[in-house]
Amino acid sequence: MDHLTTARLLQPFLPEPLSPAQLNNISTYIDILLRWNTRINLTAIRNPEEIVIRHFGESFFCAQKLAAGHLAPGSSVIDLGSGAGFPGLPIKIFAPEISLTLIDSKQKKVAFLREVIRSLNLSDATVFPSRAEEFIPSSPNNLVTFRAVERFAAILPIALRSAGPEGSLALLIGEDQIKSARELSPGTLWHSPVPIPLSQRRVLLTSH
């Protein structure tokens, strides 16, 4: 897909256009994703334009909403249940000076994530190849993200622990999960959910 098309598709999600280098990273990422998707189940979406809208658009929307307060150089971002790398890797493309940890226990997905990191030459980006329950963060102040994870009720407490006492969460979830998030984290202060562009029922929910 050419860069102009990618930039056009991302316009509803980003107030400012991405750089040519960032657009090139997206193109390379999509090529790797489509190649690997013939061997392992990374995404049910096969159309490149839909991949840009559904996966990259949502992830970059999250990144630009977080940019002012959470994505300063050196900030620690932890992406739980990374799978195909969303939203963690697009957040890294958006803010390359953050420190990113992707967590996934499935070894084939771990191999995929590592290939994307190598191919995009992303520094300070690592993959933790095990269950999120086994991850011990080194910082008390982490931004933890997850998107479309299974076992929502089980993973949210792990996300809160991984964030640390000074950290925060950014969840890309369905509207019907907002109530559960609040009920499962009675001590957490949440911002009002922000609707995701071009989506009828998905929101970005962030904690203070």
Percentage of the chain lying above the pLDDT 70 cut: 100
The answer, as to whether pTM is greater than 0.85, is yes
Q: For the residues 55-64, what does the mean pLDDT come to?
A: 97
Q: Check if the beta carbon of residue 194 is closer than 8 Å to that of residue 204.
A: yes
pLDDT at 156 over 90: yes
Q: Which residues contact 198 (CB under 8 A, 6 or more apart)?
A: 12, 13, 53, 57
First and final C-alpha spacing in the chain: 38
Fill in the amino acid letter for 88. G
Enumerate domains of the chain plus CATH numbers.
Answer: 57-206 (3.40.50.150)
Weakest-pLDDT range from 16-25, 62-71, 125-134, 159-168: 62-71
What is the DSSP annotation of 53-111? Answer: IIIIIHHHHHHHHHHHHH-STT-EEEEET-TTTTTHHHHHHHSTTSEEEEE---HHHHH
Indicate if the pLDDT at residue 148 is higher than 90.
no
CA distances for 193 relative to 68, 83, 190, angstroms:
17, 24, 8
Q: pLDDT tier at 164 (50, 70, 90 boundaries)?
A: very high
Question: How far does Cα 125 stand from its chain's mean position?
Answer: 13
Query: Is 173:203 a contact under the CB 8 Å cutoff?
Result: yes
